[in-house]
Amino acid sequence: MLNFIDTNLTLFHWPFRRVPFDDTADLVGMLKQHRVTQAWAGSFEGVFHRDISGANERLARECNDHGKELLLPFGSVNPALPDWEDDLRRCHEIFRMAGIRLHPNYHGYTLDRPEVAKLLTLATERQLLVQLCLSLEDERQQHPVFRVPHVDATSLDKLIRATPGLRLQLINTFRALPPLKAALLVNSGNVSFDIAMLESVAGVERFAQQVPIDRILFGSHAPLFIWQSARLKLDESELPIPRLTAIASDNAQRLLARS
CATH code, domain carrying 87:
3.20.20.140
Cα(132)–Cα(213) distance, integer angstroms: 20
**141 pLDDT exceeds 80?**
no
Provide the residue range defining the domain that includes 78. 4-256
Cα(217)–Cα(166) distance, integer angstroms: 17
pLDDT value of residue 125: 98
Under 8 Å between Cβ of 4 and 249: yes
**74 pLDDT exceeds 90?**
yes
pLDDT tens digits, 23-54: 999 999 999 999 999 999 999 999 999 999 99
Residue-level length of the chain: 259
What is the average pLDDT score of the chain?
95
pLDDT-derived band at 142 (thresholds 50, 70, 90) equals: confident
Q: Has this prediction a pTM greater than 0.85?
A: yes
Question: What is the mean predicted confidence (pLDDT) over 60-78?
Answer: 95
Residue 219 CA to its chain's centroid (Å): 8
Closest alpha carbon to 53 in 8, 84, 74? 84
Beta pairing class for 71-76 and 99-102: parallel
Number of domains in the chain: 1
pLDDT value of residue 259: 66
Q: Between the CA of residue 201 and those of 8, 27, 74, 181, what are the distances in Å?
A: 21, 27, 31, 19
pLDDT tens digits, 186-228: 999 999 999 999 988 889 999 999 999 999 999 999 999 999 9
